Amino acid sequence: MRLLFIGDIVGRAGRDQLVQRLPHLRRDWNLDFVIANAENAAGGFGITEAIAQDFIDAGCDCLTLGNHSWDQKEALVFIERQPRLLRPLNYPPGTPGRGANLFDARNGAKVLVMNVMGRIFMDPLDDPFAAVERELSACPLGMGCDASLIDVHAETTSEKYAMGHFCDGRASAVVGTHTHVPTADAQILPQGTAYQSDAGMTGDYDSVIGMDKDEPLRRFTTKIPGGRFEPALGPATLCGIGIEIDDRTGLAQAIAPVRLGGRLAQTVPPFWN
């Protein structure tokens, strides 16, 4: 099974890069399942229903969110009728939407996707490890699903690594999001779970984590806000992770970074060439 995870899509530059490239990637790489983190898609803050539909039409099977889930207030409503959009699993009971769902891949496999948010330097949500444990126990790999992926939207690499080891051998992949910088630690953990601390950002890297440089620089140097943060609009890089999953076990066989377009060094998974 071939799975592509796309890192945080930021603003119009990131949206355009995904919509233009993904249909070709699905065809050229014969992808079975595509997940994208879309919590920064609408002007850098949140997601709208129209944008979510554009991503699904382009070939995304599932969209995940994070700490900006509700920045566009319409998301509180349309998330209830959009099963492909996931918000963090460890929001308190009664929060609209769902944090995990089971999807059909193009090869007929059942894929469990979870979205969970860390607690270090983030909002103090419910315990992410307990939330993930409940879902893993309810839908075990090889019994309830053929493959599973957890998007860990968190600030610290320590919390992400801890989640990776917590899920090792019980999930196909654990992928970090939120910091918008692709890490160089793509690996398969000892028990067979693919892991990378951060998938990176799909957006303009001539920026401050996707935002036009002027306002962040002003705030860092003067501590005086001069306006809103606005997404940078230059050429975007699509960043993500390619994962090969064993159809028999549901565990990972290979993992490699994806970087296409924009400023960063280009790379594609060698096993998909």
19-38, pLDDT tens digit by residue?
A: 999 999 999 999 999 999 99
pLDDT, residue 174, reads 98
pLDDT of the residue at 156: 96
Beta bridge partners of 23: none
Identify residue 114 by its one-letter amino acid code. Answer: M
pLDDT at 10 over 90: yes
Q: What is the pLDDT of residues 237-269, one digit of tens each?
A: 999 999 999 999 999 999 999 999 999 999 999
Nearest one of 144, 72, 134, 137 to 111, comparing CA atoms: 144
CATH number 3.40.605.10 given to 2-272: no
Segment holding 157, helix H or strand E: helix 157-167
Residue 227 confidence (pLDDT): 86
| Average pLDDT value for residue range 118-127 | 93
Q: Are 61 and 105 in contact (CB under 8 A)?
A: yes
Cα separation, 77 vs 96, whole angstroms: 8
Residue 54's pLDDT is 97
Of 263, 258, 252, the residue nearest 273 (C-alpha): 258
pLDDT in tens, 60-119: 999 999 999 999 999 999 999 999 999 999 999 999 999 999 999 999 999 999 999 999
Give the C-alpha distances (Å, rounded to integers) separating 124 from 40, 118, 127, 147, 244.
20, 8, 9, 29, 34
Domain ranges for the chain: 2-272
CA atoms within 13 A on the CB side of 28: 10
Give yes or no for a contact between 45 and 69, defined as CB atoms under 8 angstroms apart: no
Which of these is catalytic: 68, 153, 178, 180?
A: 68
68 catalytic? Reply is: yes
Is 167 within 8 Å of 189 (Cβ atoms)?
no
252 SS3 class: strand
Predicted local confidence at residue 251, as pLDDT: 98
The predicted model gives 171-179 an average pLDDT of 97
pLDDT digit string, tens, across residues 187-231:
999 999 999 999 999 999 999 998 899 999 999 999 998 888 999
> What tokens were used for 28?
């050229």
This prediction's pTM: 0.95
Percent of the chain with pLDDT over 70: 100
pLDDT for 108 equals: 95
Average pLDDT over residues 107-133: 96
